Amino acid sequence: MVLTCKFLKFRNDYTERPAMTGLFLLLYLILSSIVFSANYKPKITNIDVIGLDKTLQYVVEREIYHSLDVHIDSSIANLDRNRIFNLGLFEDVAWRLVPLENGDAILQYIMVESINKTPPLLFPSYDEEKGWSLNSLLMIKNLQGRNRTLEVFAGFGGQQKIQLLFSDPWLFGDHISISTYLEKNSYDHLFLDRSINISSIKISIGKWYGEKIKLRFSPALINKSFTNSINTLTYKFFIPELKIEIDTRDIFWNPTKGSRIIQSIIPMLGNNKFIVWNQSYSFFLPAFKNIVLGLNTTIQRKIGHKNDVWLNYFGNSYNIRGWNLPDKNESFNNYRFGHEFLFSSFELRKLFFNKNGAWFGFKKGIGIVVFTDIGAINKNWKSISRDTMLGGAGFGIRLPVPILQSVRIDLGWGFKNKKFNKNFNLHFAVQQKF
């Protein structure tokens, strides 16, 4: 917490006159001893929002829960600070008290806006399933200053993709959000014998209940085909996805405490219908010397049609790190392929803050991570056992990137049956693994 006094704005005028320097310092020490006291809890008569340039003021004010004409509650002010920071629009957010002569105070929330708009970009990218592509992107994270997102994406090379995304986190009412997503994508899979074509449209409506529970309904239409040298399989689905999320994390992009539990039911209604049940349990615990222990368990169950074209695999940035990509000739019946799976990740995270200004409009700092992943995958849940388990361990860094939050680079070694693989593998992805 930072406490300031109104008279401090005159400090330079006073200190330029030697005769007044001693008086200024005396007054400053006296008042500082008062305002920094743990018992200093003035009544808040006004709340100010400072530092906004492109963002409309009401976007921030609707996230402030501290009341007027009550004594300062630092716990509520801290929650307000976290809530504003989690909007993803600011590189830094803080609050302070400005004492008034009558003993009351002004509560100020001070923020520094991050880069929220990209010019039209042309850049290469690598995907573990698609290979290298040349992409163009236009993204506005804070459209009209209302925290709306507009994204136009096109990819060429490893994937032929066109994508349009629009989202508004507070369309009407209290935290009622909407997003729309259009995609047309085709690519040759790097290690599975198939070419994939996807066309989809999706609308997602979300609602926060209180500050911790979010319910999201996301109906979608998808047309997906798989082609190899033998035949082509085409699937047309209506997908009324339902997701519930319980989130108590303090800072979303890099939590220091709290938890996040996600339950998602995905009915694939159409020819050869099936249901996917995804579960994710994440917990974040302060360890020592500003090191955070992150724990996650992810489960996928699948009920109904289980054609091999829908197989998942282990050994990428999002499940078991440290393994190389499967080979095209690798059997689908081994321990790396399946429809249903269970894996856990353990991470020790340490964030080194940038103390010398922002990097490209991003002030959050560089993160260092030590990780271990372990899990099992199989075509049927009953066949998952200790004998099919594999894991990976290693370390990585998290680099701050405007809009995307961070890019992660992980280096790991896979292991199975208590034996590590000889060679390490690098994994690249956007944002934290969980």
Q: Minimal CA–CA distance to 266: which of 235, 244, 240, 292?
A: 240
Contact 181, 187 (CB under 8 A): no
Which of the pair, 378 or 18, is modelled with greater confidence? 378
pTM score, two decimals? 0.84
Structure tokens at 26: 């005396």
DSSP-based three-state secondary structure for 35: helix
Which CATH number does the domain 2-113 belong to among 3.40.1160.10, 3.40.50.300, 3.30.470.20, 3.10.20.310? 3.10.20.310
For the chain, how far is it from start to end, CA to CA, in angstroms?
A: 29
At 11, the pLDDT band (50, 70, 90 cuts) reads very low
Lowest pLDDT segment from 7-21, 75-89, 368-382: 7-21
pLDDT of residue 210: 86
In DSSP terms, 406 is beta-bridged to: 400
381/318 Cα distance (integer angstroms): 20
At 25, the pLDDT band (50, 70, 90 cuts) reads very low
Please enumerate in sequence order all residues whose Cβ is within 8 A of that of 334, keeping only pairs 6 or more positions apart, or say none.
Answer: none
Q: Is the dihedral of CA 53, 58, 62, 65 positive or negative?
A: positive
- pLDDT above 60: residue 7: no
Question: How remote is the C-alpha of 211 from its chain's centroid?
Answer: 17
- pLDDT above 60: residue 17: no
Alpha-carbon dihedral angle through residues 130, 371, 362, 118, given to the nearest 10 degrees:
10
CATH topology of domain 250-434: Porin (2.40.160)
45-92 confidence digits (pLDDT tens): 999 999 999 999 999 999 999 999 999 999 999 999 999 999 989 988
193-203 confidence digits (pLDDT tens): 889 999 999 99
Which range has highest mean pLDDT (165-179, 207-221, 347-361)?
207-221
Domain ranges across the chain? 2-113, 115-247, 250-434
- Asked if 115-247 and 250-434 have one fold, the answer is yes
Which CATH number does the domain 115-247 belong to among 1.10.630.10, 3.30.750.24, 2.60.40.1510, 2.40.160.50? 2.40.160.50
